[in-house]
Amino acid sequence: MKSFLDFFPILLFFGAYKMGDIYSATGVLMAATVLQMFLIYRLDGKLQTMHKVTLGLVLGFGALTLGLHDERFIKWKPTVLYTGMALALAVSERFFNKNFLQTMLGQQLQLPQAVWRRLNLIWVLYSLFMASINAYVATYFSTEAWVDFKIWGYVFPVVFIVGQGLYVARHLPKTDESA
């Protein structure tokens, strides 16, 4: 169910775009994201910071897109989100000596400190890559190509998450199978 919730808004956005235009798709994305956050809140009893930021950006950039009738706002939302995430991870690690990934996942994963630092750097680089590629597609390609990229571009996060999982698995403490 949670996996479906992650893709729910973008799938509805894509469908609405194919049946209408970028403005109707933006309205659908806004409504779907509100519904997604409501369901996550009902399931988990809270929203993570990233959920709140995503919701705020979707509603803010969506409102600007619809209110000003300018598709550039919704197209640049992912770039702003990924850049903000890269900055937050880098600044918190560098200047505050705090690893947000470890803060969020440290209860579930017991990893050496060096691995947490590498994961943080990997997330910063991945976020900058995603921000850059979205900016490039949003700037130099048509809106239709950008919407298609939003669907087919999901290969990047899937590959990233699988790769990260394989990397983390190598560093997890070994469990005693006989216990």
List of the chain residues with pLDDT < 70: 1-3, 106, 175-179
- Domain coverage including residue 165: 71-172
How many domains is the chain built from? 2
pLDDT confidence of residue 126: 96
Of the three residues 70, 94, 111, the one that is the final residue of a domain is 70
The reply to whether 62 and 143 lie within a common domain is no
Report CA dihedral (47, 48, 49, 54) to the nearest 10 degrees.
-70
pLDDT at position 85: 93
Handedness of CA 50, 53, 59, 60 (dihedral sign): negative
Are 75 and 53 in the same domain?
no
pLDDT for residue 2: 65
What digits encode the pLDDT tens for the residues 93-141?
989 888 888 887 767 778 888 888 999 999 999 999 999 999 999 999 9
pLDDT computed for residue 102 by the predictor? 83
Q: How far apart are CA 166 and CA 160, in angstroms?
A: 10
